[in-house]
Structure 1
Amino acid sequence: MNRKTTLCMALGVAATVFAGTAWAQQTLRLGHYFATEDFRGKTAQHFADQVNEQTDDLQVDVYPNESLVKGREALQATSQGVVDIYSVYAGYLSGQVPLINIFSLPFPPPSYDDKAMYELALDPDTVALMDKTFAKFGVKYLGVINSSGPAQLFLRNPAKSVSDIRGRKLRGAGGLSDVALRKLGASVVLLSAAEQFLALQTGTVDGISTTWSSYVNYGLADVAPTYLAATVVRAPYLLLMNKAKYDALSDAQRDAITNAVNNTVEWSRENFAAEQKMLHDKVVEQAKNVVEVSDADKAALREQMQPIYDSYVEDNGEAGRQLMDNWKKVTGTE
């Protein structure tokens, strides 16, 4: 073997080692808009920790509190690679991805609890349809990692029933739930979770549709003392990834991400009930006025919402019909 051949082989080995080192140093940026102590923030961190523990050649760094990208910009930012992964509320994406509105059907029946929501979100048909839809945006749909719990109504001024939102300006939760609020006579303003306190404090809005978690963690009882206990919507938080980044991963790295998603879902489901009980107790304790909604009123609300449900299928064709059938199956409303 001559010196030239030996040098070429050495350079080849060096290049291989260098490529392996570069791969080992790959870091993915995960953005979200929650506080780190919020359960949703803890869930995103749990996912990152799971990936980091499973593989030495992939590192996930977490950027909370919209420090990298705002929640309502999640899809575009992930598509463009401004952020590699984002944990985002499904309702924030409904304007760009109408099919996702299956998760924003307003005033759902009591049978649509978190168990039913997960059953729908994790169904292989749902995953396949969502993955195909998000691929058009250059985004990989990794699935869901936790629930919002019930998004309910919190108002600056007293109310006796849901009908009292007529004429008020509300921050909506997104998607078809906003259509429902307008149908009930409210006007809807788009705000991120971080903007809720100031908007209520200044009177920019008269109330909000939000989660117990946001109500407690953002201190909203000081500016929205009336709690109207009607579930406007219940939606999952999706985990999205830049598709080019995902496609460039090795099979082992993809497996690590899949395993991390599955482990995080299980962790979230195991801990969410206790978290929700604690949050609900705090909501009831902190709110000055707690307005319960009768079963009869809830049933009347669902009847009013039926045209919105029908429009979802009409607007989304066969995929919408399939998802609606799955929704009816998990809620027992077939």
Structure 2
Amino acid sequence: MKQRTAILGAAVLLGTAGAASAETLRLSHQWSTQDIRHQVAQMIADDVAAADVDLDIRIFPSASLFKAREQYTPLSRGQLDMTVLPLSYAGGQRPAYNLTLMPGLVKNHDHAARLNDSPFMEDIKATLAEDDVVVLVDGYLAGGFAGKDGCITGPDDMQGKQTRAAGKAFEQMLAGAGASIASMASSEIYNAMQTGVLDAANTSSSSFVSYRIYEQVACYTPPGEYALWFMYQPLLMNKSAYDALSDEQRAALDAAAEKAEAFYLEEAKKEDAESRRVFQENGVEIADMSAEEFEAWRALAAETSYKAFVEELPEGQALLDKALAVE
């Protein structure tokens, strides 16, 4: 009896040790659990769990682990395993990342997908690797313009307007178009328009809908065949943590990431279409940007945002040229 008890005890200990050997990765992001970026993260966590490779991904949404703009440094230091992050948030540490939120660099979602497979993105990923970070999922989200009293499709439409822009480079470009800039979070746009502080706004498709901006504007320019505002928001992983996984764990993670990337692209397109539908249903005029207007914005960006970027990062001209070379 004593021998059998000892054997059972050893089996329990072995079982406990086996369960404890499962690797747990921590994934942090700032978004709610309804957000597309959380859905991308959850898809990867679910698929990796289903692969049964002793790898668990624990997600910390809504900035519950790290603040929104404070995730890149712990990721690069190995204090965090994974994150979904607008890469321009880390532009202070790495100015090259500011090109991932630059007006006129991306025309539409299919163009963004081509950019992700270009020498430009290879250079961005090489910089990430220097910080011990690797991209698991590429992804861009788009945005547009809304005007309180009229449509905003070309630079001339911004003259004399008080506007909110999403990102420093957009503020530089819109100021160049003759607008006055009011910096604020997207969550403050509604009240600012209601009280007459803003005449126009630039933000993401999802923010336009979730903050009900359609109640305050006369015209909406959604992302379509042409759009100015695209923000690179990849799912990143600490490279040392990735390299430390077993071959089976990496294969499961890579397969999940490939599936999630395709989902991300399709859902991003759906968000834009949904914003168009919601604004239209609420009686807001829809105005699409033309190819000529897109090129006019890009010419203005070259004199303002692009110029300021290259002045900050002289070697950035070569990187900018690579991005602009992608058709």
The bucket for the TM-score relative to the shorter chain is 0.7 to 0.9
2:170 maps to what in 1? 177
What letter matches 1:37 in structure 2? Q
Kindly indicate whether residue 13 of structure 2 is the aligned counterpart of residue 22 of structure 1.
no
Corresponding residue of 1:279: 275
Tell me the alpha carbon deviations over residues 199-242 of structure 1, each in whole angstroms, 9 at most, x when there is no partner: 65666755432122221233332345542457332232112223
The yes-or-no answer on 1:114 pairing with 2:114 is no
Residues in 1 aligned to 2:114 and 2:288: alpha-carbon distance in whole angstroms:
28
Aligned equivalents of 2:15 and 2:76: distance in 1? 31
State the secondary structure of the residue aligned to 2:325.
Answer: helix
Q: TM-score, normalised by structure 2?
A: 0.76
Partner residue in 1 for 2:125 = 131
Aligned to 1:330: 326
- For 1:116, give the aligned amino acid: H
Aligned length: 311
1:217 is matched with which residue?
A: 210
Q: Which residue of 2 aligns with 1:86?
A: 83
Q: 1:306 aligns with which of 289, 299, 302?
A: 302
Give the distance between the partners of 2:276 and 2:20, measured in 1 at CA: 47
Q: Contact conserved, 2:205 with 2:271, CA < 8 A, in 1?
A: no
Aligned to 1:234: 230
| Inter-partner Cα distance in structure 2 for 1:287 and 1:67 | 38
CA contact 1:121–1:143 (8 Å) conserved in 2: no
RMSD (Å), alpha carbons: 3.6
Confirm or deny: 8 A CA contact 1:87 1:240 kept in the other structure. Answer: yes
Aligned to 1:153: 145
Specify whether residues 15 and 197 from structure 1 end up closer, same or farther in structure 2 by C-alpha distance, changes over 3 A only.
farther
Structure 2 Cα separation of the partners of residues 59 and 202 of structure 1: 48
Match of 2:181 in 1: 187
> Normalization by structure 1: what TM-score?
0.74
Tell me how far apart the structure 1 counterparts of residues 58 and 195 of structure 2 sit (CA, whole Å).
35
| SS of the residue 2:21 aligns to | helix
Aligned to 2:61: 64
Give, in whole Å, the separation in 2 of the partners of 1:48 and 1:169. 43
Instruction: State the distance in 1 between where 2:262 and 2:72 align.
Output: 25
Consecutive unaligned residues of structure 1, counting only runs of 5 or more, are 1-10
Displacement after TM superposition at 1:169 (Å): 4.9
Is the Cα–Cα contact under 8 Å of residues 104 and 234 in structure 1 kept in the other structure? yes
For 2:196 and 2:262, locate their aligned partners in 1 and report how far apart those are by CA, in whole Å: 40
My pick for the range that moved more, 169-178 or 231-240, is 169-178
Q: Which residue of 2 aligns with 1:5?
A: none
Contact 2:101 2:230 in 1 (8 A): yes
CA displacement at 1:165 relative to structure 2: 3.8
Q: Which residue of 1 aligns with 2:95?
A: 98
What is the distance in 1 between the residues matched to 2:28 and 2:13?
30
For 1:264, the equivalent position in structure 2 comes to: 260
Residues 268, 79 of structure 1: alpha-carbon distance in 2 compared, 3 angstrom cutoff? same
- Which structure 2 segments of 5+ residues have no match? 1-9
Give me the whole-angstrom Cα distance separating, in 1, the residues matched to 2:222 and 2:150. Answer: 11
Q: Hey, what's the Cα distance between the residues in 1 that align with 2:234 and 2:145?
A: 23
Paired with 2:79 and 2:187, the residues of 1 have a C-alpha distance of 20
Q: Deviations over 1:161-184 (max 9, x none)?
A: 454545555443225233212323
The answer on whether the counterparts of 1:146 and 1:236 sit within 8 Å (CA) in structure 2 is: yes
Q: Give 1:24 shift.
A: 0.5
Separation (CA, whole Å) in 1 of partners of 2:124 and 2:284: 41
- Percent identical among aligned pairs is 25
3-state secondary structure, aligned to 1:208: strand
Q: Is the 8 A contact 1:121 1:144 kept in 2?
A: no
Per the alignment, do residues 288 and 279 of structure 1 end up closer, same or farther by CA in structure 2, a change over 3 Å counting?
A: closer
Matched to 1:100, the amino acid is Y
